[in-house]
């Protein structure tokens, strides 16, 4: 068995809005602060590049390809501070995708300013009176967005994907030790309780760490947190901007999975494994 790995992770909670340059500047400050706290992986929210409480044509106008200035700047920030940075961007589709819609995309940028992983959100937020699919093209179903830092394997999903355990189970089956979940969890009755319950459930049922970064109020619920594979909350925030950090250790993960070998005992498989 390979030696257990360990890494410090941060989730950053801030309030991106409609100015992509200002958002990138704010994100740089968050990554700098997180790196000074010792984090080697920094997770920012969904829609870190451009955010509104309800999508409209402005999000299409703001979209850029992954070669555009925002993602290029994101990769530069990762290199500047020597960390992996995961953030949500508004991607301009290419090829045969229909005009007038975007990909809701996560980019994991490495300290070498490379793409460690890219994930396009699969489940559009067509619920609670919203219809994200009016402006967002769902990503392909065959994605397995994972990358490795210091022996720890990270997988990525986005916001509303949290309500669909199959995608996260695919990541666990692909070897992920940690789920990274950038989100813009829109406020509403009971939404914080649902968010925290689902995050802890995904950790428990997959015996994996979960690091979830949300928007601060008013465009998000806040409550960003890092959860242990037992479901215990290691670090959490309120509804204001802030940074939460935790040390993720594969030795502890191995102990949890030895005590509760639910992944090894499962009798169903997920399509695409």
Which residues form the catalytic set?
46, 121, 159
Count of helices and strands (H, E) across the chain: 7, 12
39 phi, psi to nearest 5 deg: -70, 140
Any idea what the Cα angle at residue 258 is, between residues 198 and 2, rounded to 5°? 105
* DSSP string over 106-156: EEEE-TTSSEEEEEE--S----TT--GGGTBPPPPTT---EEEETTEEEEE
- The token duo for 176 is 């992920």
Query: How distant is the alpha carbon of residue 81 from its chain centre?
Result: 19
């Amino acid at each position: 068995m390979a030696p257990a790995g360990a890494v410090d992770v941060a989730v950053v909670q801030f309030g991106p809005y409609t100015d992509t340059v200002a958002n990138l500047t704010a994100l740089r400050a968050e990554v700098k602060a997180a790196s000074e706290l010792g984090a080697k992986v920094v997770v920012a929210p969904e829609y870190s590049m451009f955010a509104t409480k309800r999508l409209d044509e402005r999000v299409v106008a703001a979209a850029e390809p992954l070669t555009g200035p925002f993602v290029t700047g994101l990769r530069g920030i990762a290199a500047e501070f020597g960390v992996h940075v995961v953030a949500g961007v508004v991607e301009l589709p290419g090829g045969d995708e229909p005009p007038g819609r975007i990909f809701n995309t996560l980019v994991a940028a490495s300290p070498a300013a490379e793409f460690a992983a890219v994930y396009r959100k699969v489940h559009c937020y067509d619920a609670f009176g919203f219809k994200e699919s009016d402006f967002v093209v769902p990503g392909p179903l065959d994605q397995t967005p994972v990358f490795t830092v210091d022996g720890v394997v990270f997988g990525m999903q986005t916001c509303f994907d949290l309500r669909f355990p199959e995608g996260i189970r695919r990541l666990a089956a692909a070897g992920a030790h940690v789920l990274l979940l950038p989100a813009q969890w829109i406020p509403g009755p009971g939404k914080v309780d649902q968010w925290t319950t689902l995050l802890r459930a995904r950790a428990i049922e997959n015996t994996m760490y979960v690091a979830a970064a949300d928007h601060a109020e008013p465009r998000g619920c806040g409550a960003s947190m890092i959860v242990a594979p037992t479901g215990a909350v290691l670090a959490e925030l309120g509804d204001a901007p802030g940074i939460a950090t935790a040390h993720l250790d594969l030795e502890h993960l191995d102990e949890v999975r030895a005590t509760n070998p639910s992944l090894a005992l499962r009798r169903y498989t997920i399509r695409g494994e």
